[in-house]
Amino acid sequence: MKKLIPAICLLLVSAVMLGTSTFAWFSMNATVTVTGMSVRASVKENISIASTAVTSTAKEADSAFKSGYVATHTETVLEPVSAVDGATFFYTSTKNVKADGDAKTDTYVAYNHADTSAFDTNYGTTGAKGYVEYAVQLKADNSSDAARYVNLTDVNLTYGGAAADQKAFRVAIFVDDMGTDGATAASATQTTSNLKSILSISGAAYQTTGKAVSSVSALDTVNAKLNAAALIGTVDAHTSHYYKVVVRLWMEGEDTTCTNTTFASLTDKWAFDVVFKLQDTTGGATAINQALTASKIDLSTAPSTGSEAKVVDGVNYYEIAGNTGYYTTVASTAVSSSSIIYNIDSNDIVLDVTNRCTLPA
Q: DSSP string of 95-122?
A: TSB-TTSSBSSS--EE--SS--HHHHHH
Q: What would you report as the CA-atom Rg of the chain, rounded to the nearest whole angstrom?
A: 23
Q: What is the mean pLDDT of the chain?
A: 81
User: Distance of alpha carbon 30 from its chain centroid, rounded?
Assistant: 23
Confirm if 175 and 137 have CB atoms less than 8 A apart: no
Query: Residues near 327 by Cβ (< 8 Å), separated by ≥ 6?
Result: 310, 317, 318, 319, 320, 341, 342, 343, 344
**Could you give the percent of the chain with pLDDT greater than 70?**
75
Kindly report the backbone phi and psi dihedral angles of residue 233, in degrees, each rounded to the nearest multiple of 5, phi listed first.
Answer: 175, 175
Domain match, 57 and 177 both:
yes
Residue 165: inside a domain: yes
Do 200 and 320 share a structural domain?
Answer: no
**What kind and span of H or E run contains 17?**
helix 4-20
Query: Is 205 a domain residue?
Result: yes
Read off the pLDDT of each residue in 301-319 and give the average, rounded to a whole number.
Answer: 69
Residues 234, 320 within the same domain: no
Tell me: do 187 and 271 sit in the same domain. Answer: yes
| More confidently predicted of 294 and 278 | 278
Asked, for residue 244, whether it belongs to a domain, the answer is yes
Q: What integer is the mean pLDDT of 82-103?
A: 86
pTM over the 0.85 mark:
no
Pick from 346, 308, 301, 312: nearest CA to 326:
308
Position 95 confidence tier, pLDDT thresholds 50, 70, 90: confident
- pLDDT exceeds 50 at position 12: no
CA distances, 297 to each of 128, 252, 312 (Å):
37, 33, 9
Residue 9 lies in a domain: no
**Residue 11 resides in a domain:** no
- Note whether residue 2 is domain-resident: no
Q: Where residue 45 falls among pLDDT bands split at 50, 70, 90?
A: confident
The single-letter code of the amino acid at 356 is R
As a whole number, mean pLDDT of residues 297-321 equals 68
Task: Assess whether pLDDT exceeds 80 at residue 323.
Answer: no
Count of domains for the chain: 2
Range of the domain at 322: 309-356
Where among 237, 261, 279 does a domain terminate? 279
pLDDT of residue 301: 60
Other CB atoms within 10 A of residue 263 CB = 22
Residues 6+ apart with CB under 8 A from 9: none
Between residues 262 and 224, which one has the greater pLDDT? 224
Verify that 339 and 201 share a domain, yes or no: no
- Taking a C-beta distance cutoff of 8 angstroms, is the pair 89, 131 a contact? yes
Q: How far, in Å, CA of 103 to CA of 121, rounded?
A: 18
Average confidence (pLDDT) over 50-58? 96
User: If pLDDT is split at 50, 70 and 90, which confidence band does 302 have?
Assistant: low
Residues 233 and 103 in one domain: yes
Please name which of 186, 291, 273 lies closest in space to residue 233, comparing C-alpha atoms.
186
- Reply yes or no on whether the pLDDT at 24 is more than 80: no
Kindly report the CA angle at 49 between 47 and 51, in degrees rounded to 5? 170
For residue 264, with 0-12 CB atoms within 10 Å meaning exposed, 13-18 middle and 19 or more buried, which class applies? middle
Alpha carbon distance 9, 11 (integer Å): 5
Residues 170-195 have pLDDT tens digits of: 999 999 999 999 999 999 999 999 99
For residue 66, being part of any structural domain is answered with yes
Residue 304 pLDDT = 62
pLDDT band for position 346 (cuts 50, 70, 90): low
Domain match, 52 and 100 both: yes
Please tell me the chain's helix, strand, coil percentages from 3-state DSSP, rounded to the nearest 5.
Answer: 10, 40, 50
Report the 10 Å Cβ neighbour count for 272: 23
Residue 288: strand pairing partners: 201
Beta strands in 216-280 (DSSP E): 218-221, 231-235, 239-251, 270-279
Q: Which residue has the higher pLDDT, 325 or 358?
A: 325
Distance CA(216)–CA(239), nearest Å, equals: 46
Residues 180 and 265 in one domain: yes
pLDDT score at 342: 80
The reply to whether 108 and 156 lie within a common domain is yes
51 and 159, same domain (yes or no): yes
Q: In this structure, are residues 102 and 21 in contact, taking their beta carbons and an 8 Å threshold?
A: no
- 102 and 229 share one domain: yes
Whether residue 321 is found in the same domain as residue 248: no
Those residues with Cβ within 8 angstroms of residue 92's Cβ, 6 or more apart along the chain or in another chain: 25, 103, 107, 108, 109, 213, 253
Please report whether residue 3 resides in a domain.
no
Q: With 0-12 CB in 10 A as exposed, 13-18 as middle and 19+ as buried, what is 3? A: exposed
